[in-house]
Amino acid sequence: MSSKPISQSNIPAAPQSARSLVPEYDFFRVVQGYLDQAAKVINLEPYVATILSQPKNEIIVNFPVKMDNGEVRLFKGYRVQHNNLLGPFKGGIRYAQMVTLDEVKALATMMTWKGSLMGLPYGGGKGGIKFDPRGVTKGELQRITRRFTHALGENIGPEYDIPAPDMGTNSQTMAWMMDTYSNMVGSNQKQSVKGVVTGKPVASGGTLGRTKATGQGMVHCLTEWARDKGFNLEGSTMIVQGFGNVGSHFGVLLSKLGVSTIAVGDHSGYLYNPEGFNAHKLQDYVLQNGSIGGYPGGKSITRDEFWGMKADICAPSALENQIGEVEARAIQAKVVVEGANGPTTPEGEKILLERGIDILPDVLANSGGVTVSYYEWVQNKRSETWTLDEVDEKLERAMKRVYKSVDDFARQRKVDRRIASYALALARIESVYKEREIFP
């Protein structure tokens, strides 16, 4: 999100072209559906599937915040802790008007699969507050964040549940969360709780390479895909929905490999530039202005035109439930790289696969974020500072190793990459349940 606060009165209503035209769907049920399919593939013990079918804890807090005009507003915050068999609950905090318990449950569940798939010592969690962060001032944003952290209290902690940025939050949000948490513990513990959140600014204990990590991980998946397919990325074209943290870093990093972003979209609308956008300049513009709206280097197009644009790569990097049947029929790309969580509906996915369009699924493609969060947490534990090269090299090795295991599994078991990713994640969790058995 942009660091620039925008006051409520300045927010233009999202144009019709920017709104999701895909009907509402039950995100958590969609994720459960993939769990069921993957469970069949590996003959998952039914009791393990039963445990994983629901989150361990669903926390809802309502907390008051004094706004700049003196009014007291009540906010609803969520933290869903899906599973912590492999390690502490881990997952982002989302600030958006559309946040619901169902959505946070789905996202928390997916975090369990990502941690397991990537071989990290983490379980899955996710949180959020239901409000539009663009509609408040920076001071209000800080008070909302601090009061939410306080309301969560002992439900988070560096060895228990570790939040990170997600949609609508960033490193600044994490600095406020960390500072609030460190003021809630005794003064003699302040230094040891830096790892309560990841995605912090570098000077406050963050790691180099975290901001771009999700986009960077997507690049590694895409380059592996391109190599296997004999596809030359240099000179290819891309469309990106969402030009926030994930979408913009993916665009910038791919521009260095000669990929030209020819269409972009966000909550303010969609733009087209047949010559290709300067991804750096567009990223800077969004950081300054909060959206691509008003960017001088492109022609305005509709949401339908965006999805139907001829380009080699399609990168949905905004939010869930964006590629339904209509969009899947319109997409002209060879590959869909899911930067967002859950951007493709099951119906959309079926059509894409029938049309021979490859999908690099969310739980694999965007797991660079949680992987580098893990590197940050390890550095905090050891009071170390790794160089950017160290972080980048570790991430590259991790992404390529896991990409290959997913691809091999998919080919051998004749399943798509999403089910392969779920199956590998579930198999690791199952093996630990079998060893430890069920308490008492």
Angle, helices 279-289 vs 245-255, to 10°: value is 160
- Side-chain-side CA neighbours of 77 within 13 Å: the count stands at 25
Instruction: Report the nearest approach of ligand NAD to the CB of residue 319 (Å).
Output: 5
Name the strand (E) or helix (H) holding 82: strand 72-83
Instruction: Report the nearest approach of ligand NAD to the CB of residue 154 (Å).
Output: 25
How far apart CA 413 and CA 419 sit, in angstroms, is: 10
Q: For residues 89-148, which are near ligand NAD according to CB under 6 A?
A: none
Instruction: Report the nearest approach of ligand NAD to the CB of residue 127 (Å).
Output: 12
Give exposure, 106-117, as e/b (b: 16+ Cβ within 10 Å).
bbbbbbbbbbbb
Contacting range for ligand NAD; rule: CB under 6 A; set: 16-24, 116-124, 350-358, 407-415: 16-24
Query: Rule CB under 6 A: is residue 345 a binding residue for ligand NAD?
Result: no
CB 242 within 8 A of CB 265: yes
Q: For residues 257-316, which are near ligand NAD according to CB under 6 A?
A: 265-267, 291
- Catalytic: 212? no
Q: Which single residue is written with the structure tokens 């390479």?
A: 209
Query: Rule CB under 6 A: is residue 18 a binding residue for ligand NAD?
Result: yes
How far apart CA 87 and CA 124 sit, in angstroms, is: 9
Q: Which of 87, 88, 91, 165 binds ligand NAD (CB under 6 A)?
A: 165
How far apart CA 4 and CA 69 sit, in angstroms, is: 19
Question: SS3 of 322, please?
Answer: coil
Contacting range for ligand NAD; rule: CB under 6 A; set: 35-43, 80-88, 135-143, 165-173: 165-173
Radius of gyration of the chain (CA): 21
Minimal CB distance residue for ligand NAD = 244
- Side-chain-side CA neighbours of 94 within 13 Å: the count stands at 26
Q: Report the length, in residues, of the chain.
A: 440
How far apart CA 26 and CA 24 sit, in angstroms, is: 7
Tokens of 67: 């706004």
Query: Rule CB under 6 A: is residue 421 a binding residue for ligand NAD?
Result: no
Nearer to ligand NAD, 342 or 430 (CB): 342
Instruction: Report the nearest approach of ligand NAD to the CB of residue 414 (Å).
Output: 28
Q: Which of 341, 379, 380, 421 binds ligand NAD (CB under 6 A)?
A: 341
Contacting range for ligand NAD; rule: CB under 6 A; set: 173-181, 338-346, 382-390, 396-404: 338-346
Q: For residues 355-394, which are near ligand NAD according to CB under 6 A?
A: 366, 369
Which one of the listed residues 56, 90, 114, 126 is annotated catalytic? Answer: 126
Q: For residues 37-96, which are near ligand NAD according to CB under 6 A?
A: none
Contacts to ligand NAD by CB under 6 A: 1, 18-20, 165-168, 214, 241-247, 265-267, 291, 317-319, 339-341, 366, 369
Catalytic residues: 126
